[in-house]
Amino acid sequence: MELIPYLSCMENEVWIPIIGYESLYKASNFGRVYSIRQNKVMSICKAKTYPVIALRNGLNKKTKRVHRIIAIHFIPNPENKPEVNHLDFDKNNNKASNLEWATRKENHNHAYNGKRMPCPKNKQLPDNIILDIYKSVEPIKEIAKKYKVTDVHVRNIKNGFRNNNITGIAPKEKKVILKLDNKLVLDIFNEKGTYREISLKYNVPQWRVCSIKNGHKYARLTMGVKNKFQ
């Protein structure tokens, strides 16, 4: 690490040459970037997501996120984690003391537990939230609303179809809906009686009988019968 006396107006500020731009730029543990050629601390652009800065090497220009520059040069990353997390949730505070390397899940959990972002629908939830959903006895819709996920997501957790490595339950057997052959479809279509009677006779769900009869399904096979609800 290199100390630059005339730039170190902040106590304990340290500067390091930026990898790939060693003779052109330096980064400080206080989240600043210094241009050797211009002999000044560079202005940082506050983009919509994270503050960025443009680094030039001859004709080549690359825009880089400041927090990643600082993390790469000042924070060890022995586990090779891919993302950088702001501990105080302030994306403009890029001091090394405010940054840490994290996995996508760790970064998401940090923001979610800090109430800085809603949990995206059907994205990976923190382990403690998955267990809360699994153990909850509230109605499915109430649980989904509470944790900002879909009803299907809640059912899948409760039935072991997802996150069963966390809940420890075996997935329930899914009902397999068999494809109907053409002869059976035509028999159902031409059969007289109520949907229930036809359903029991051919051992198919009533909704499927209704779909065949009304042209929702297999319309080409049943001579293109029109949907009576249209």
pLDDT, tens digit (0-9, with 9 covering 90-100), for 104-154: 888 877 776 655 555 554 557 888 888 888 888 888 888 888 888 888 888
Can you read off the two tokens belonging to residue 82? 């891919």
Q: 55: which residues sit within 8 A by CB, 6+ positions away?
A: 18, 21, 24, 25, 61, 62, 63, 64
Q: Are 15 and 7 in contact (CB under 8 A)?
A: yes
Cβ–Cβ under 8 Å, residues 90 and 118: no
Q: Look up residue 113 and give its two tokens.
A: 């537990």
Q: Specify the DSSP class assigned to residue 73.
A: H
Predicted local distance difference test score (pLDDT) of residue 129: 87
Pair 75, 86: CB distance under 8 Å: no
Which pTM does this prediction carry?
0.50
pLDDT digits (tens, 9 = 90+) for 57-86: 988 899 999 999 999 999 999 999 999 999
